[in-house]
Amino acid sequence: MTIAAGEKVPAGKFKIATSDGLADLTTAQLFDGKRVLFFAVPGAFTPTCDARHLPGYVELADQIRAKGIDAIACMSVNDVFVMKAWGKSAAVGDKVLMLADGNGEYASALGLGLDASGFGMGQRSQRFAMVVKNGVVEQLHVEQGGEFKVSAADCLLARL
Is 74 labeled as catalytic in the residue annotation?
A: no
Residue 115 has what pLDDT? Answer: 66
Write the burial class of residue 101 (CB in 10 Å: 0-12 exposed, 13-18 middle, 19+ buried).
buried
Name the pTM for this structure.
0.95
For residue range 24-39, what is the model confidence (pLDDT) as tens digits? 999 999 999 999 999 9
What structural domains does the chain harbor? 13-159 (3.40.30.10)
The continuous run of DSSP H or E covering 109 comes out as: helix 105-109
Residue 120 has what pLDDT? Answer: 66
Catalytic annotation, pick one of 49, 69, 100, 132: 49
Whether 65 shows a pLDDT value over 70: the answer reads: yes
Q: Is 23 helix (H, G, I), strand (E, B) or coil?
A: strand
